[in-house]
Structure 1
Amino acid sequence: MARRTPTIAAALAVGAAVLLTACGGSSDNSSSDKIKGAGEGSKSPSASASTSTGDGRPDVSVPADLHLNFDFDKPSDAAKAGAVADAENYIRALKHGIVKQNPDDPAYQFYSGPAASRYAKSQIQAWVKGGWTPTGTDHYFNAEANPVGASKSLLVTFCRDQAKSFGRSVKTGKIKYVSESLDDYEKFSLLMAPSKENSKLWKTQQIEVQGRVKECRG
């Protein structure tokens, strides 16, 4: 079984120059989430507490065996704080879609512009096709939000450590455990823009994921 899901291109033409310039240049695109195939069995997970806010936002809860750890400091600037929070919600919504095994899950669509929606759908499809769902601890940290030119958009970047995140077979419940390596460390860059319909909602417009990032390994 392959160590990871099929690679899916993550630099989704922003006007590609906008995102890549904001990120400081082009990068090595290795955007696939880690899938670690069969191993030891596990119990069927129970649902964790919902992260739905009750203000019309979708449920992005995940099972209790999947821990999404967003170790982000809240920016003092309100716009930056909103963009970082909804970048987190986009990732949560993507994971929610994988857990639900639903490439058309409405949760990620709520937090996405067209390109980011296509990315999320392709990631979910890869997991569904392989018959896998995530388990373990997925750690995101070192979030920053910076303006993009003269627009209202913000570029949110953060690191990911997936060394303790694994794939569990939907059919058998078995987990594949793989030793930690540089492959576990990624850097995410999400181009965030405020929604025209809801001033409190920021949507991910574009996403780029760099693989094997030494600075995220610590």
Structure 2
Amino acid sequence: MTLTATGPRHADTDAPLIAPLIERWSPRAYDPTAELTDADVRTLLEAARWAPSAMNLQPWRFIVARRGSESFTLIHDALMGFNQAWADSAAALIVNIAELTDEDGKPRPWAKYDLGQAVAHLTVQAQHDGLHTHQMGGFDGARLAEAFDLREGLEIVSITAVGKVGDASSLPEPLREREVAPRSRKPLDELVITAA
């Protein structure tokens, strides 16, 4: 069964949303032949650049590595668990870094929140452009920080796989089963503490 960006993966929302949000999901099966152009990468990073941030400090940094590069291999090798089983077919891996302190050591307490917004903007832009993303938290951050010589005060928060959706049958079990399982979310009344 080949999955595409349309069809059964659309979110069943309780309110009308824009198409990139309805269509967005996090595949693990990527097309191992699809590539990102320089323009593709620039557009994704430009979307991240225009995310809001506290005091407009923009405390985010990114390492972008396309499949086949030495940097891609370094990032892939630092992934943990099942992430290594599927992420090698993504067109690119993006390391998402929060600048927790400036170069003088002054704290930036909202850095992780701001980075999250930047990555969300990147994700929605990717979906709009016919790409898919998958966020990962399973990685060896210390290994990556050393490999890329990150200064003190920079923290790797997540890694984003980006590419075109591939064939779910290429995944090992149980990932294949998870790839085609129905999408679900908690109901809003479980998420909202109070509404006036």
Note whether the superposition's TM-score is higher than 0.5: no
Structure with more of its chain in helix, by fraction = 2
Structure of higher RCO (CA pairs closer than 8 Å, 6+ residues apart): 2
TM-score by length of 1: 0.27
Structure with more of its chain in strand, by fraction = 1
